[in-house]
Amino acid sequence: MSNILTLERVETFISQYHILLGINFEAKAGEVSVLLERDGAGKTTTLRTIMGLTLASIGTIQLFPDLKKQGGNLSGGKMQMLAMARAFVNDSKLLLIDEPSKGLASIVIEKVIEDITKMKKHTSIVLVEQNFMVASKIGDIFTLIDDGRTVQSGKMQGLIEGEQLKRKYLGIG
């Protein structure tokens, strides 16, 4: 299945601080792509960079590349409107969710898992989630970030079974 979002070697500064040093990330239509990282060193910045709220200094971000092809002979403004419309209106929309389980009691977390699982049927999702139980239940694919760089990505099942990866980058298992 083709990507609806691709980040290649993305680097981002916040004022003089070099926060993202090389993020590679993909999201596919109809899937939940989870961004994982042990320390607070760039997950939210990655989401902000995808949205254009924080500008990447290096690298490429491709959102809905198929749409770009289709909209090839439209003006920049119209193409952007088309992209926005497609992002928010029809069923190929993309949701970015930042740590939905943070600070919640476990019974409420179960509800969050249930709700996101329902949303999965209608939309593609990029999920930042530190709680590995939540991430592993909802996620289809994962990207592990360490020190501002993507160190590994793949199918969630691979990470669930990847004891060494979990120990090294998430401090669990």
Q: Residue 92 touches which of Mg ion, ligand ATP, none (CB < 5 to 8 A by kind)?
A: none
Sequence-separated (6 or more) residues with CB below 8 Å from residue 154: 141, 142
Instruction: Tell me the closest approach of the beta carbon of residue 164 to ligand ATP, in angstroms.
Output: 22
Binding residues (CB under 6 A) for ligand ATP: these are 14-15, 17, 19, 37, 40-45
Instruction: Tell me the closest approach of the beta carbon of residue 34 to ligand ATP, in angstroms.
Output: 13
Binding residues (CB under 5 A) for Mg ion: these are 43-44
Phi and psi at residue 39, to the nearest 5°: -95, 165
Residue 19 vs 71, nearer CB to ligand ATP: 19
Q: Report residue 167 as tokens.
A: 């120990």
Q: How far apart are CA 9 and CA 90, in angstroms?
A: 29
Sequence-separated (6 or more) residues with CB below 8 Å from residue 8: 24, 59, 60, 61, 62
Comparing every residue's Cβ against ligand ATP, the nearest one is 40
Residue 17 vs 103, nearer CB to ligand ATP: 17
